[in-house]
Amino acid sequence: MNAEGFAAWVRHAADLVSADAERLTRLDAAIGDGDHGHNLDRGFRAAVDALPEDAPPGRVLVAAGRAIVSKTGGASGPLYGTALRRAGKALGDAQDVDAAGLGGALRAALDGVQDLGKAAEGDKTMVDALAPAVAAYEAALAGGSDLPGCVRAAAEAAARGADDTVPMQARKGRASYLGPRSVGHLDPGASSTALLLRGLADVTGE
């Protein structure tokens, strides 16, 4: 996957987020403050505007992450921005990223989210989509899958992981203020993580 592939993902992710912004915001209205879709929409538009020319994949992701940190409000901006910057740093100066390289970037993104947000699996956050996605990616890689196959496995696991947040009680972020009343709702950040990984599968799938 080259720099144009990563830039294509950022542009496609921005389109998916924009199309889904109302739904994500509605999810956040139920257990948060009703801004998640609009936060991410603003951030991904800024990421598209910040895409560098003639830069390797790592720099594409770092630039997108910086733009998201600076333009996305709320908890999710620093978390997604950190995820992208850490993923970009993990890619280094490689011009072409293979399946193992992308797996390392995804693992670095998860580590970045957890270093910053301190959420574990089961806390009803984006980690509940991202952690199973990274695990599924690594399992597919170990099983000999190619990059599109690994990404597909990750996207499917993220979607299941997001669905699994419904019965959870939130222990991190704004939703945790609701205590047991957060049970029975899909976590907006887990849902957006699943969306972003579906977008990656769209651009890497043949």
The dihedral built from the CA positions of residue 128, 130, 134 and 140, taken in this order, carries a sign that is: positive
Cα–Cα distance measured from residue 162 to residue 93, given in angstroms and rounded to the nearest whole number: 32
82 binds, among ligand ADP, Mg ion, none (CB under 5 to 8 A by kind): none
Dihedral in degrees, nearest 10, Cα atoms 100, 102, 106, 112? 100
* CB of 88 or CB of 117, closer to ligand ADP: 117
Is 32 a binder of ligand ADP (CB under 6 A)?
A: yes
Is 43 a binder of ligand ADP (CB under 6 A)?
A: no
User: Which spans in 72-183 are helix H?
Assistant: 76-91, 99-117, 127-142, 147-163
CB 120, CB 149: distance < 8 Å: no
Is 58 a binder of ligand ADP (CB under 6 A)?
A: no
* CB of 112 or CB of 199, closer to ligand ADP: 112
Is 76 a binder of ligand ADP (CB under 6 A)?
A: yes
Long-range Cβ pairs for the range 114-118 (8 Å, 24+): 115/82, 116/78, 116/79, 116/82, 117/75, 117/79, 117/172, 117/173, 118/172
Is 75 a binder of ligand ADP (CB under 6 A)?
A: yes
Q: Which window, 50-58, 102-110, 183-191, 198-206, contacts ligand ADP (CB under 6 A)?
A: 183-191
Is 82 a binder of ligand ADP (CB under 6 A)?
A: no
Instruction: Looking at residues 45 to 104 of the shown chain, list those that interact with Mg ion (rule: CB under 5 A).
Output: 74
Residues that bind ligand ADP (CB under 6 A): 28, 32-33, 35-36, 39, 74-76, 79, 113, 117-119, 125-127, 172-174, 187-190
